[in-house]
Amino acid sequence: MIDLLELHKYFILRHLRAGDTAVDFTMGNGYDTVFLSKTVGESGRVFAFDIQAQALASTEARLLNEGCPNNYTLIQDSHHRVKQYVEGPIKAGMFNLGWLPGGDKSITTLRETTLPAIKDAIDLLDKDAILNVAVYPGHEEGDAEGKLIEEYLSTLPRWKISATKVKLVNSPTSPYFFMIETK
């Protein structure tokens, strides 16, 4: 069976190399931040965002325990403020929408900040770069976020950006992701 998060990483690795800059727009417990940190190596740069102090603490501990290079900046702020911290260009970005695993499920990503964050992330993408957005439609806000993102991505010029949706068709509430690549 397909593991969507592993597939996420497979596509990221087609674009991201040592020395590149990447952004984890929803750091959560730091798994994607660790992946990005190890991939870009000591000469690269990773910026990671989350609004919850618990996420920053968990991520920092995970980065240290995994022996990651000191190439990351953890930011306790909303991902829609990315341009206040990252000048670009970036080679890869990851969104894992929803709530902090093991955290308060009433604190979730929201349409009103997620869509502006995705728009800014696309604006920051370098040539031959990628942005992956994991969506969790099993809760009301997650379903609404996914629909809003898809509606927006369908308006982008195909000659400049390729937007793909990867979804299990026989499981309507299963997570899926969007892959946005620059040409």
Taking only the tens place, the pLDDT of each residue in 87-126 is: 989 999 999 998 768 878 888 898 899 999 999 999 999 9
Cis peptide before 89 (omega within 30 of 0): yes
Q: Rounded to 5 degrees, what angle do the CA atoms 179, 118, 79 make?
A: 125
pTM for the full predicted model: 0.96
Choice among 22-26, 72-76, 173-177 with the minimum mean pLDDT: 173-177
Look up residue 158 and give its two tokens: 């195909």
DSSP string covering 33-49: HHHHHHHH-TTSEEEEE
pLDDT tens digit sequence for 6-15: 898 999 999 9
Q: Which residues pair with 47 in a beta bridge?
A: 23, 73
* Domain harbouring 43, CATH code: 3.40.50.150
Burial (Cβ within 10 Å: 0-12, 13-18, ≥19) of residue 46:
buried
The whole domain housing 127 covers 4-182
Look up residue 128 and give its two tokens: 């031959």
How many domains in the chain?
1
Q: Which residues pair with 46 in a beta bridge?
A: 22, 72
